Structure 1
Amino acid sequence: MQQHQIVSREQWLAARKAHLAHEKEFSQARERLAEERRQLPWVKVDKNYVFDGPNGKVTLGDLFRGRPQLVVQHVMFAPDWDAACKSCSFWADGFERMVPHLAARDTTMVAVSLAPVIKLEAFKKRMGWTFDWVSSGSNDFNYDYEVTFTREQIDKGVPKYNFGTTPFYGPELPGISVFYRNEAGEIFHTYSCFARGLDMMNAAYQYLDLTPLGRHEEGLPYPMDWVRLRDQYEPEATKASCCHG
């Protein structure tokens, strides 16, 4: 951690107000971006996607639960894995308690993964999650919305991930897709984001960004190397780190 200047309260307030001006500029830019996002054109979904849920088959339309908006968190969990991706689980921990709040604003949130539903349900129980989670293992949903890639695609070396801007780093990658369903039952794909576009949906990272140390991921083999499944952190080590620096 870099050495920080120690100043009086008055000097700190002056510096903080100068930074506040930049924060306000960022907030205004973010609001403009959100409005631009809402004005993006839509694509009608003509394919009939059928998923495997804990109570049987469900369609994409069923996932809306009668609401007009659907947010899909693509959670990396390949059929041969025993657990979901630890980083995707980090995001899932964050949205677990958001679901009722989103529902109050006419929005349903679900998780979708390739793994069979029996594995999803077992891992969901382990993590204490309550959100809806269905398997796309029997359809093309993951491939069509570009979070799962074939060996042939990867071997060609032409990136399709993140709209062709990010090289492949595996056959399973994270993302979020958003859909709208009108009163006639027609479904439209309105938005998707990947890679760093997912960053703002992780509340824990946003809190860390408020702290002096920030995410302090410098020097790690990769930025999220420190992340573990919630039940895999060492309690005593975490306590010591928090209390004694």
Structure 2
Amino acid sequence: MISKGWGTTISLWCAAALLAIPPAVHAGEPAATSAAKQPAMTSDSAKREMPDAAKRMSESKTANDATRCIQLASAALIAATKDDGVPADLLRRSMGVAVIPLGANANMQGVVSRRTEASEWSAPSFVSLLGSAGSKIAAEDGAIIVLLPAGVRLDALESGSAMLGFTDDESTPKKGAVETPPAMSAVYSYRLSGGKVERIDLTGAHLKVDAAANAAEYGKDATATTILSGQTQPTDTTKPFVASIERRVPKHEA
């Protein structure tokens, strides 16, 4: 026979044991099932955050690519415009200059800047060199420098129809000559390799504006027209190229 005191003690022990049992067991639910719910909630939250994280990573990569492109293009322009480089006379007469770094540049991305109506150099627009002529030397070191004539059309760049053929001095259009738009004539292309500059035939290649890269760098409202006309101002990233072209390319001479 259990005394009253011992009965009270046993009752207290039982109550304490019941309180120590997880709530899931009280409800007749296995404890493992309840514990598994929390990771599921964390997983759902992670899934919602994944697109944002991927977007941030993509934006960061684009920014890094733009910075790298500007750095390489600026260095190539300076190297290609030394005394024994691209002729100063052609640089002086050109209305636009494009620089496409080579090497590890699978997309053949580069930049182009154009003289504005105020005779100042515009912010650079990102462009890509398309066509087999460029792809053949894409993996080689150096850069391609393209001098664009006064007849360059922005819509040709935006549509990707700005053809880059080989132009001899004798075939340069005379004043008053009619050009067939939107194709450009009197385009002079050079290749910088090993510190030396030489003419290069880019027949079959063409430049096209990289609208996505421009939007990422200058904002969604920026277009090739606003950038190359001087309406869109250079960013901190693209200012070095403008500084290089202003320093190395002579004032315009018709």
- TM-score normalised by the chain length of structure 1: 0.30
**Could you say which structure has the larger radius of gyration?**
2
